[in-house]
Amino acid sequence: MLKQTEETEEIIARVAGLDIGKAALMCCVRVPDTARAGGRLQEVVEYSTMTRSLLVLADRLSELGVTRVVMEATSDYWKPVFYVLEAAGFEVWLVNARDVKHLPGRAKTDKLDSVWLCKVAERQMLRPSFVPPPQIRRLRDFSRYRAALVVSRGAEKQRVEKLLEDACIKLSVVASDIFGVSGRQMMAALICGERDPEVLASMAHGRMLRKTAALTEAFTGFFGDHHAFLLARMLERIDAITADIEAIESRVEQLIVPFERAAAAVRRLCEVPGIGVRAARVLVAEVGLDMDRFPTPAHLASWAGFAPGVSESAGKRIGSGRTGHGNRYLAATVGEVAIAQARLDTFLGERYRRIRGRRGPKIALVAVGRSVLTVIWHLLADPDAHFVDLGSGFHASRIDRDRRVRNHRHQLEVLGFKVTLEPLGATA
């Protein structure tokens, strides 16, 4: 039997949909038709993406009384449009293009895309993506560029190792870090023309002194002048990238210190074992400070890519249960924290080891990463919250005594023993 529901379709009266390209955008505006009850008026106009044209667009939207502007996340072309309209006071929504799929069988043009986006937006069938406020965006720009520089430096270090292998120099076999004090001094000597393996091995410091014989064997190769030239260029590039990374870290510190809320959030996050100052700054830059955008810790975990999906068809689970796509910068930092937890004598460290023993390291990493994100959410949602570690013995202390007795008794009976239990101190 069909029943009447209380639901009503709420239409946003004045809304704009933007289909953005690199050089131009198509703007569709839909507003109420005062001459016809329930009617809608529509305007579709093309604008340049130059700043002057975007200001004209903002004036036109303000003239029409538009309250919400919706646009797709198209590469980085959405950023100037978003920032100009945001500064003009509009409620700007950035939506995932996957949520605005065009119906199959219909023509696809920029004009039709903007109209479709506007129609879907006015019926509130979309959800906005998270775009942090300007101060957090600046921190994010620095932290992401630093991450890119770290990747570039790692790639350059790999080129150095390949070059040494090409010259039959097996330094990486003996030294765990060829870019330490000993390794850099030895490579500097190679560049300056030193080729005697014994002389190069004598430059070892610290624990490397015990490997002198192995180093002598490792430097017995065919290192030529062209290797020296390339090695010098590579080391110069590594040093330059390192200097840039240090400059960025100094700049981030200058931005955070006067930003009191961010500085306080960093201090609270650093209370969590495994989260250092650098990781805390990345977390603040990626997540922001306003947890209203993530109603629950589960929303944050999903956004970070730490929420394994479950698909079911005909009563059977299908798929691999992967976590899907998420914020890769946030996921990388949370993954590093989870790996650090595995080596600590903490509640989360014990959680990692317990899950790893049953289901393997990958699932344990995701589970602990999700727990870390839950902690982060609560610390950022409540400025008065502080982290208190429950301790590595928390799980064992909370296991029911009778269940442990029952399990041990069953294990002995399986081995062929008849078990009689008598409490300590009982009388005969």
pLDDT digits (tens, 9 = 90+) for 333-352: 999 999 998 889 889 998 99
CB contact set of 41 (below 8 Å; sequence gap of 6+) = 30, 31, 32, 33
At residue 8, the pLDDT reads 52
CB contact set of 282 (below 8 Å; sequence gap of 6+) = 143, 147, 329, 330, 333
**Nearest to residue 369, comparing CAs of 341, 344, 392, 335?**
335
The mean pLDDT value of the chain amounts to 87
Tokens representing residue 369 in the block: 């990463």
- pLDDT, tens digit (0-9, with 9 covering 90-100), for 288-303: 888 888 989 998 998 8
More confident residue, 127 or 178: 178
Domain residue limits, the chain: 15-122, 136-256, 260-381
What mean pLDDT do residues 82-99 have?
88
**Quick one: how many helices (H) and strands (E) in the chain?**
17, 7
What mean pLDDT do residues 312-320 have?
62
| 37-46, 143-152, 166-175, 192-201, range with the lowest pLDDT | 37-46
Q: SS3 for 122?
A: helix
Q: SS3 for 72?
A: strand
What mean pLDDT do residues 189-215 have?
91
**Torsion angle of C-alpha atoms 351, 352, 355, 361, degrees rounded to 10:** 180
Q: How far apart are CA 245 and CA 240, in angstroms?
A: 9
pTM of the model: 0.81
Q: Could you give the percent of the chain with pLDDT greater than 90? A: 47
At residue 428, the pLDDT reads 43
Among 245-249, 252-256, 363-367, top mean pLDDT goes to 245-249
Q: SS3 for 241?
A: helix
Say which CATH architecture domain 15-122 belongs to. 2-Layer Sandwich (3.30)
